[in-house]
Amino acid sequence: MPFQFKTRLLLNGLIGVLAMTVTGAAQTPIALAPMTLTAEQDHQNMMDQLGIKVLRDGPSGDEKAPNHANYDEALANPYPRLPDPLTMNDGTKVATAKQWWERRRPELAELLSKYVYGRVPRHVPKVTWTVTAVDHEMIGFTPVIAKDLIGQVDNAAYPAIDVRIHMTLVTPANAKGPVPVLMMFGRAGFPAPHEPSADELERINSAWKAVLAQQDSSLKEVFAQHPAWQPVKATPFQFPQMNEDGDLPNTWQLVAAGWGFVQFDPASVQADDGAGLTRGIIGLVNKGQPRTPEDWGALRAWAWGAGRGLDYLESDPSVDAKRVGIDGVSRYGKAALVTMAFDERFAMALVGSSGKGGATLLRRNFGEAVESLTGGEYYWMAGNFMKYGASEATFGSKTPEDIPVDSNALIALCAPRLTFISYGIPEKGDAKWLDHEGSFMATVDASRVFTLLGAKGLGVEGDNRTAKMPAVNQGLLDGQLAWRQHDGGHTDAPNMKWFIQWANKQWADRHGADHLNGQSLNGQSGAK
């Protein structure tokens, strides 16, 4: 640790504001305020811990910039040899499902934790969920019950940081039993707050007019001249915003299909920036101090939070906890894939436009690079990951080729559960930066693990180097691992109906058969 940083630590200790809580007459735990660093300072601190002097710069997303990202497919595979999810660390080939579950899967989870996403600390404090409000709402033509929830993280060990996880659970009101639920990373809150009735509005309006008239007595005359005018009016019916394919919004489709959904707020678990790493759940566990190299990054923290959300869902009788899925787009697509990979209770995932750190191969040089994830986006990952962007360090230098795992392993950890990899098209804004091709290559390679476990994979000819990416709108939806590039932009919305049908069909086909294989699945039928 350089002198400057040590001094800062010391100063923080000396002049830090003291946060106090009185938990009992005799006991007064005192917690120093969390350390305040800019993202640049925190990034530098991790470089210092790792002995890194210089990091290679990430490419620019602007194609006109001189240092723009590579979009030449001929240059996209500088490290064509992928670490094999089905070869153990000691070189033994994985030939049986038993070997996968007992040895290889734990090895891969360990490699991905240690070098890529960071570890969930052993003793993360307990989360206690409270339903803070229940509302009866309408989503489209479906009556729903919406519960707003707060998961309070026990902060007795460090009261200076308060983490309150926020999510909203919405289930169809007329469901006959527990329903499947798709948890979606995004803003939580009531989706369609129910308004007061006409009678109630009338009472609100006369009270409101009385208050206004009290404030300004001349208004009495105005009200008298316009007796029918009311300050508060019922919101007129609004047509929903259709997606690019003319479909209803995701939430409408889900409840109409008899599913529930959860809006899960990742920012309530961990901020989406480097300066936030000494706060949120990561900061709480570290008592306000910066991370060490194997500590979790924001993606793993968001995934952990989703798992705590699932803990609650397991206790809610309106939810079929064996059919809870996870969904997200872009950085939350990465988070959805990480959630699905590490928490085996999630039964399905819709991974939208996830790119680097998500479905695409870290070894690919196309669009966003490893150097992007070791630069400005470093806080999504473990500190350790920064080594792979280092050009000058006490350990020399490293490149993406040195990463002992890749995204094929991350997708493989989801096997044999229902995993749908989704993208849009660059023409509509799902940028080339995300590397659709590299994501397909990783999915193809991971498919072998689904097959090993008796599930059905993508079902394409060839391997990750030779298999042909299907045309836009042509889904590979016959197996437990699915792929579809829709013709919309940076969103999963045009794939939602495909996802719902595919998952429903998979569940229906499995019903009555306790094994995963032996079924002819045709996920394409039905939808347009």
Closest approach of Cβ 232 to ligand GCU, in Å?
38
Nearest to ligand GCU of 368, 406 (CB atom)? 368
Residue pair 128/154 in contact by the 8 Å Cβ criterion: yes
Closest approach of Cβ 352 to ligand GCU, in Å?
10
Nearest to ligand GCU of 149, 434 (CB atom)? 434
Closest approach of Cβ 63 to ligand GCU, in Å?
14
Nearest to ligand GCU of 320, 327 (CB atom)? 327
Closest approach of Cβ 490 to ligand GCU, in Å?
7
**Contact code string over 458-477 relative to ligand GCU, x by CB under 6 A:** --------------------
Closest approach of Cβ 57 to ligand GCU, in Å?
14
Does 416 sit near ligand GCU (CB under 6 A)? Answer: no
Nearest to ligand GCU of 270, 330 (CB atom)? 330
| Rounded CA separation 251/526 (Å) | 20
Tokens of 180: 């499947």
Tokens of 75: 């240059």
Nearest to ligand GCU of 298, 477 (CB atom)? 298
Closest approach of Cβ 380 to ligand GCU, in Å?
8
Closest approach of Cβ 286 to ligand GCU, in Å?
25
Does 331 sit near ligand GCU (CB under 6 A)? Answer: yes
Residue pair 30/19 in contact by the 8 Å Cβ criterion: yes
Residue pair 351/421 in contact by the 8 Å Cβ criterion: yes
Contacts 24+ apart (CB under 8 A), 129-134: 129/311, 129/312, 129/315, 133/190
Closest approach of Cβ 121 to ligand GCU, in Å?
25
Closest approach of Cβ 503 to ligand GCU, in Å?
24
| Rounded CA separation 278/378 (Å) | 14
Which position among 42, 247, 327, 368 is part of the footprint of ligand GCU (CB under 6 A)?
368
Nearest to ligand GCU of 355, 416 (CB atom)? 355
CA angle 410, 446, 521 (to 5 degrees): 120
Closest approach of Cβ 133 to ligand GCU, in Å?
30
CA angle 113, 119, 122 (to 5 degrees): 140
Closest approach of Cβ 27 to ligand GCU, in Å?
44
DSSP state letters, 488-528: SSSSSHHHHHHHHHHHHHHHHHHTT-SSSSS----TTSS--
Nearest to ligand GCU of 62, 392 (CB atom)? 62
Does 367 sit near ligand GCU (CB under 6 A)? Answer: no
| Rounded CA separation 205/197 (Å) | 12
Residue with tokens 């300072």: 41
Region 419-438 residues binding ligand GCU, contact defined as CB under 6 A? 433
**Contact code string over 265-304 relative to ligand GCU, x by CB under 6 A:** ----------------------------------------
Region 36-65 residues binding ligand GCU, contact defined as CB under 6 A? none
CA angle 322, 339, 520 (to 5 degrees): 50
Closest approach of Cβ 372 to ligand GCU, in Å?
6
Does 355 sit near ligand GCU (CB under 6 A)? Answer: yes
Nearest to ligand GCU of 56, 356 (CB atom)? 356
Nearest to ligand GCU of 85, 352 (CB atom)? 352
Closest approach of Cβ 355 to ligand GCU, in Å?
5
Nearest to ligand GCU of 257, 370 (CB atom)? 370
Which position among 372, 419, 422, 491 is part of the footprint of ligand GCU (CB under 6 A)?
372
Does 491 sit near ligand GCU (CB under 6 A)? Answer: no
Q: CA nearest 310: which of 153, 135, 417, 181?
A: 181
Nearest to ligand GCU of 372, 451 (CB atom)? 372
| Rounded CA separation 43/291 (Å) | 10
Nearest to ligand GCU of 370, 413 (CB atom)? 370
Collect all residues with Cβ–Cβ distance below 8 Å to 71 and sequence separation of at least 6. 63, 366, 367, 432
CA angle 355, 164, 411 (to 5 degrees): 25
Count of residues touching ligand GCU (by CB under 6 A): 7
Alpha helix (H) residue ranges in 245-365: 250-256, 280-285, 298-315, 331-342
From first CA to last CA, the distance across the chain in angstroms is: 59
| Rounded CA separation 87/324 (Å) | 31
Closest approach of Cβ 335 to ligand GCU, in Å?
10
H or E segment and range at residue 136? strand 127-139
Residue pair 439/421 in contact by the 8 Å Cβ criterion: yes
Which position among 12, 168, 270, 330 is part of the footprint of ligand GCU (CB under 6 A)?
330
H or E segment and range at residue 5? helix 3-15
Nearest to ligand GCU of 170, 493 (CB atom)? 493
Q: What are phi and psi of 348, to 5 degrees?
A: -160, 160
| Rounded CA separation 336/350 (Å) | 7
Residue pair 105/409 in contact by the 8 Å Cβ criterion: no
Nearest to ligand GCU of 42, 368 (CB atom)? 368
Contacting residues toward ligand GCU, per CB under 6 A: 330-331, 355-356, 368, 372, 433
